[in-house]
Amino acid sequence: MKICHTHAMKMIKELEEQKRLLIEKEDENCIVSYKEGEERLPAGYDYDKMREEIRSVDGRVRSLRAVLAKANCTVTVEPFGITIGEALVMLAQLQAERGQIESLAGRKQVSRRITSNGVVEYSECVYDVSRAAGDVKALREKIAELQMAIDRANLTNYVEI
């Protein structure tokens, strides 16, 4: 069956939710309490069956992730001309750069303070703060463009599962 990358990612999320629910069910049903003199009621819990169900879900997740990982190494994100995998790394790098430049853009070009002994001290940024603000705007646009290109690639490329 052929599905787009986005569908495969949604299937993985659904499988991970199924696993979470299985583990929650296991935690609720793996212990029974009863009072002395009472008969212990069956819990309906089967350790081996639960392990098998969880391993089955894990196997399907691994399989889907492997198919996606291979696709991420081969599918090109246009107009950037890089693979999805590279684009994801680039996206993280651009977001980190944006954070740093936002910090630089948030400073005053020149500031002053009076020290504890009454001397006026000036601090001046050795870069153009307004240029940093412009660079933040450009980075935000590039990040948005890259995110949309990755989304487009994930929606228009198919994998066999």
DSSP letter string over 104-135?
HHTS-SEEEEE-TTS-EEEEE-SS-HHHHHHH
How far, rounded to the nearest angstrom, does the alpha carbon of residue 158 sit from its chain's CA centroid? 21
Cis peptide before 79, with omega less than 30 degrees from 0? Answer: yes
Q: What is the pLDDT of residue 49?
A: 97
Strand 2-4 versus strand 158-160 pairing type? antiparallel
Q: What is the pLDDT of residue 23?
A: 98
Please give the chain's pLDDT, 161 residues, in tens. 999 999 999 999 999 999 999 999 999 999 999 999 998 888 889 999 999 999 999 999 999 999 999 999 999 999 999 999 999 999 999 999 999 999 999 999 999 999 999 999 999 999 999 999 999 999 999 999 999 999 999 999 999 99
The model's pTM is 0.82
DSSP H or E run through 160: strand 158-160
Q: What is the pLDDT of residue 56?
A: 98
